[in-house]
Structure 1
Amino acid sequence: MSSEEPLQSAPSEENPEKKLSKKELAKLERQRKRQEAAAAASAAAGVSAVTLEAEDPLAENYGEIPLIDLQSKEISGKKWTEVKDLTNELKDQVVLIRGRAQAIRAVGKKMAFLVVRERGFTVQCVLTVAQDVVSPQMVKFATSLSRESIVDVEGVISVPTQPITGASQQHCLLIFEDAARSELEIEKALQAGEQLVRVNQDTRLNFRVLDMRTPANQAIFRIQCQVENIFRQFLLSEGFVGIHTPKLIAGSSEGGSAVFRFDYKGTPACLAQSPQLHKQMSICGDFGRVFEVGPVFRAEDSFTHRHLCEFTGLDVEMEIKEHYSEYLRKTLRLTFEEGVQMLKEAGVEIDPFGDLNTESERKLGQLVLEKYGTEFYILHRYPLAVRPFYTMPCHDNPKYSNSFDVFIRGEEIISGAQRVHVPEFLTERAQSLGIDVKTISTYIDSFRYGAPPHGGFGVGLERVVMLFCALNNIRKTSLFPRDPQRITP
């Protein structure tokens, strides 16, 4: 009810039948007082706002930046400093930073603490009322900021006598278990009877932009960037050529049903499951050694901790001189048959001509660690029946193939093989697996003009980072993951 609305008057003596009780009269009186108080507060607030703005001589030192000043209006020449670069060497210097208001705390009316975060690094800012610098209104404005707001702060660097535990400019240890708290911290809190908020993975992914701001995620994706960079730089140093292959293709690169199919201007097409066919065609084009970093699409229904429908592939293809295992000779290598035998001796029954499931791979990883003292090994000579059509069979037993997987901590991270480079044999292998060779005719024809023996492999970037950081789910290493149940954000 507004203050302008008249209160209901008490009935007159001439209308005794409408006379209100004492309780009702008291209620009306309380209502009248509330209206008067609200009107007075509203008027005072309006006057106060005008007075503060008019009387504060330091109003230009704070406030909302007008949109026009953020529309690339001009280059001011201001020198900006990143939070991560704030060190003791900058003591007593004036710096200008931009970041997010992570935490705000008022101490009376003349002091406030503001923690500013920029890409995982934080600094504590102290505002105290000082003549010609900071006004009480400025302190009040700072404490009214919404958390996660973008703020520009200019001030003098001061080095405290005691370390600031609430800021990152100290030595720190990152544990990649929870984006905000470690499992150890959570366990201690639960034992102490404390209640901590735990955000589940789906909620994090639904609000991924906010989740990215956590220090752990900032670190994870910087590690991922460097893994890709090291992969690229090493191959370039070894004479490889970076290529970019099409992702819209006719047929399917691997065969099988796990492909995203669509109509391409009246022609059946699909998203590439890998750059495999075009990698090999590049070898036929005399590039010798090629690699690609690009998206890979798999329309599989595997809703597991290590599968995605779209991920970043690190792919390699190269000529070989004599044998597909000419390199990595020092790495522990076990044949598929040896791996199956180790599992059988441990009581795990495996089809000798089938593939290993996730549980078998993990168990084999444990057995290898116990016997050989390593978590990194190669399993090769897989059954031909579980490998793609372009895989070269073994010379001594056509039931097995010149293929391999590389494992870390019991999980496969690399899959590769020597390829079939004889067109007639390639056609035969494709037909035996029910692949329409017409859809891959240009691929097969590229071998008719002469092709050297060659092989290669593919690595999933997200899976490598997941295992390297000892994370429990591949979605934590995909910026915006796509799985059978998620296509947003």
Structure 2
Amino acid sequence: MSRTLVRDLSEHLDETVTVHGWIDTLRLQRRMQFVVLRDHTGRVQLVHPRADDPIEAAFEQVTVESAVRITGKVVANTAVRLGGLELRPERVEILSLAEPGLPIDAHTGPDRRLDWRFLDLRRPERRLVLDVQTTVEQAMRAVTAAEGFTELHTPKLMGTASESGAEVFTVDYFGRPAYLAQSPQFHKQMAIAAGIDKVFEIGPVFRAEPSYTSRHATEFTGVDAELAWIDGVEDVMAFEERLLRAVLADVRAVHGATIAELLGVEVTVPERPFPRITMADALTRLRAGGWDPAGLRVDLDPEGERALSALIAAETGHEFVFVTHFPAGIRPFYHLRPDDDPTVTESFDLLWKGVEITTGAQREHRHDRLLAQLREKGLDPAPLASYLDCFRYGTPPHGGLGLGLGRLLMLLLDLPSIRDAMFLFRGPHRLTP
């Protein structure tokens, strides 16, 4: 039995079709039965005059969120708000009867909604997030493929803690400790050393941070890219501009109308180039406006990120801003430091609507300098021997970025929390469902 999706019913006026979905609402009146069926593409009203027949009996038995299969005739009705048509049922099959009394509704708080995430995702505005995510990833792969990237799948089990060893999850690996990867950073750079000019990955990232903010998760999807033979970090920022512009253009084309209808959000495609400001300039301007009155901060906190984005938006009308040249003391040992000012790094954060979504940099590709910077940070080179070996035999200048997919979706769709921007959220107190 072929299935017709709700969004395609207008193509079958006066035809008999079969639809599958869930019971959205029931209005069982004395003479008429009005039922709304919902599938993942939309909703349709079913109308049945009571006739003491099997259809009437089925609608009296069925409950909201029951899974059903309904065969009926598609009829135009301009009075119906749901697409100007309705379905006159000829056969009703209850495939799976939902228990009466749903555990969540439209007014349920976020934690309980996460407990019943499979029901929560049946709501079109929740499901939309995953549809948009699919388009975002497809657009990213299209851009990287067109620019000659090789997609990798790097290990998520590591024998040594990545980078500093902080904020990692330790697991038992056949009697010895292993660590869940914080980032594919070292493996991306290994690929560059292997002669793969451009590498790209969309994959899981793990952070053992006891953070309870609206933008943090202990497991999330990272988007990582690394480019070899660059002239400078500007090449990396320009690549991200091309990537995000293509992503937002595709989302607008495919989902713009639905996003506006369900979420009241307009998708804007940014102009290139994005504004840029050095960290030193950002700190000076923010302090002049009253942020950090003691002048003790060397990095931006969330309040500073919001204030800086508002300032740049007021001046340029742009929602994005690159913050560049972070101090060497707050960046990883592998970020390159310019010869004319080794106190800073050739690195950047990208802020969107006041939230950091990307960290990137040109990497230090010379073994001696890398080793010196590592020791300056007080790190032991021994656990990083296999990483450092990648720079002993001619590694090209390179740089890259890491972007949080959940944060991108959260800001794109104006969601209140990253919890709503992923299929199943993981945080310090959540390991289920």
Q: Would you call these one fold, judging by a TM-score over 0.5?
A: yes
Tell me the CA shift for residue 80 of structure 1: 1.3
- Equivalent position amino acid for 2:136 in 1: V
Deviations 1:65-111 (A, max 9, x none): xxxxxxxxxxxxx2211112111x31111101110011222233x64
Residue 211 of structure 1 pairs with residue 120 of structure 2? yes
Equivalent position to 2:176, from 267, 271, 277: 267
Q: TM-score, length-normalised on structure 1?
A: 0.74
Tell me the CA shift for residue 433 of structure 1: 2.8
Local SS of the residue matching 1:290: strand
Residue in 2 that maps onto 1:334: 277
Greater alpha carbon shift after TM alignment, 312-321 vs 454-463: 312-321
Residue in 2 that maps onto 1:140: 57
- Give the 3 Å change call, closer, same or farther, for CA 412–112 of structure 1 in structure 2: same
Residue in 1 that maps onto 2:348: 404
Contact 1:122 1:169 in 2 (8 A): no
Tell me the CA shift for residue 371 of structure 1: 2.6
* Structure with the larger RCO, 1 or 2 (CA within 8 Å, 6+ apart): 2
Q: CA–CA distance in 2 between the matches of 1:98 and 1:285?
A: 51
Local SS of the residue matching 2:401: strand
- Equivalent position amino acid for 1:80 in 2: R
Q: CA–CA distance in 2 between the matches of 1:265 and 1:387?
A: 34
Structure with the greater alpha carbon radius of gyration:
1
Residue in 2 that maps onto 1:388: 332
Deviations 1:109-130 (A, max 9, x none): x642221110151111122356
Q: In the TM superposition, what are the counterparts of 1:14-163 in structure 2 within 5 Å?
A: 78-87=1-10, 89-108=11-30, 111-128=32-49, 135-162=52-79
Tell me the CA shift for residue 352 of structure 1: 6.9
- Equivalent position amino acid for 1:458 in 2: G
Q: CA–CA distance in 1 between the matches of 2:406 and 2:45?
A: 34
Residue 198 of structure 1 pairs with residue 107 of structure 2? yes
Q: CA–CA distance in 2 between the matches of 1:232 and 1:115?
A: 38
Q: CA–CA distance in 1 between the matches of 2:186 and 2:136?
A: 25
Contact 1:120 1:214 in 2 (8 A): no
Residue 294 of structure 1 pairs with residue 294 of structure 2? no
Residue in 1 that maps onto 2:382: 438
Residue in 1 that maps onto 2:257: none
- Give the 3 Å change call, closer, same or farther, for CA 226–197 of structure 1 in structure 2: closer
- Give the 3 Å change call, closer, same or farther, for CA 139–225 of structure 1 in structure 2: same
Local SS of the residue matching 1:466: helix
Tell me the CA shift for residue 157 of structure 1: 0.8
Residue in 2 that maps onto 1:360: 304
What's the RMSD between the two structures over aligned residues?
Answer: 2.0
Local SS of the residue matching 1:369: helix
Tell me the CA shift for residue 425 of structure 1: 2.3
Contact 1:382 1:402 in 2 (8 A): yes
Q: CA–CA distance in 2 between the matches of 1:203 and 1:141?
A: 31
**Structure 1 unaligned residues grouped into runs of 5+:** 1-77, 171-195
Local SS of the residue matching 2:225: strand
Tell me the CA shift for residue 345 of structure 1: 1.1
Equivalent position to 2:323, from 379, 396, 407: 379
- Give the 3 Å change call, closer, same or farther, for CA 225–197 of structure 1 in structure 2: closer
Q: CA–CA distance in 2 between the matches of 1:321 and 1:197?
A: 50
Contact 1:279 1:290 in 2 (8 A): yes
Aligned length: 379
Deviations 1:249-289 (A, max 9, x none): 02222324211012322332200001000000000111100
**Structure 2 unaligned residues grouped into runs of 5+:** 86-104, 239-271
Tell me the CA shift for residue 197 of structure 1: 6.8
Residue in 2 that maps onto 1:53: none
- Give the 3 Å change call, closer, same or farther, for CA 425–268 of structure 1 in structure 2: farther
Residue in 2 that maps onto 1:234: 143
Local SS of the residue matching 1:482: coil
Local SS of the residue matching 2:75: coil
Q: CA–CA distance in 1 between the matches of 2:363 and 2:284?
A: 27
